[in-house]
Copies of this chain bind each other. A is one copy, B any other.
Amino acid sequence: MRALVHVTLKKDVLDPQGKAIQKASASLGYDAVKSVRQGKIFEIELDAAERQEAEAQLGELCEKLLANPVIEDYTIVSLES
């Protein structure tokens, strides 16, 4: 199965990297850019017979390895066989 996972900072966590990108955009002349927040995306291929099993494994993997649950949210955006 092929999964797409988004990991983003929680809404109330500051994102200095995003802020830096917004400032860089402005200095390049793109004043229209009001805010930028950066996150990570993972394309994961995994062997799983059932969708439910794959979702459970991906959830554990996000909690343990891909995201820091204290400051980040994760979403399994898509899961295709």
Contact = CB atoms under 8 A, between A and B. Distances in A.
Nearest to A9: B43
Contacts of A42: 18, 21, 36-39
A33 B21 contact: no
Nearest to A53: B32
Q: Please give the count of copies of this chain that the complex contains.
A: 2
Given A32-B48, A57-B30, A40 B43 contact: no
Contact of A8 (B24, B32, B43, B48): B43
Contact of A32 (B25, B34, B37, B57): B57
18 contacts: A18-B42, A24-B65, A28-B64, A30-B57, A30-B60, A33-B44, A33-B57, A33-B61, A34-B47, A35-B44, A36-B43, A36-B45, A38-B41, A39-B40, A39-B42, A40-B40, A40-B41, A41-B41
